[in-house]
Homo-oligomer: A and B are copies of this chain.
């Protein structure tokens, strides 16, 4: 059995994270004070800082759990993607988008993305960047799978297209969380329009009828 100290530490860290997750969602990241989290987790302010370096780190820790789920939810699509290139890409992207607001508010996303950009060299900044990389890798992997099934032209470099598409879907998502009145449906429409021409390039069924 693990030592008493070890168990207490794990319990405290869990309580702090649970408090953060609950309060950030219900009251908003900005307006929650470290003191509030400490009180809810039944520890002192100083103790919170023994487990997390900054308030932003706590946010990233809550967001990371969600992103982990999003990555896991994407995996099945790689196993058995739709037979049309655009459908396959959009299936994966919609999976990302639809999961994104399950446990996180737009305000939390804004704060998390901002934090990861402003503090890229902190542990939490690196953690966020690493998850971004895995998402981009998943898009790339999907393209490779489609190439394996002869649905995407072989001479295209999967990583380049994967990066391009991830950049676009990420940018669209940022615009989505920046504006509270944009719906998930609008976000889908937005990215679908951008994906369409690229998908047709990838599948090689481009009507070469210019003049």
Contacts and interface: CB of A to CB of B under 8 A. Distances in A.
Contacts of A114: 113-115, 117-118
A210 B156 CA distance: 11
A193 interface: yes
Contacts of A164: 164, 168, 194, 197-198
B206 A208 contact: yes
B206 A194 contact: no
A163 B194 contact: yes
How many copies of this chain does the complex contain? 2
A133 B85 CA distance: 29
A25 interface: no
A168 B194 CA distance: 11
Interface string A156-180: 1100110110111111101001110
Contacts of A153: 209-210
11 contacts: A117-B177, A155-B207, A161-B194, A163-B193, A164-B168, A164-B197, A167-B167, A167-B172, A198-B201, A201-B201, A204-B209
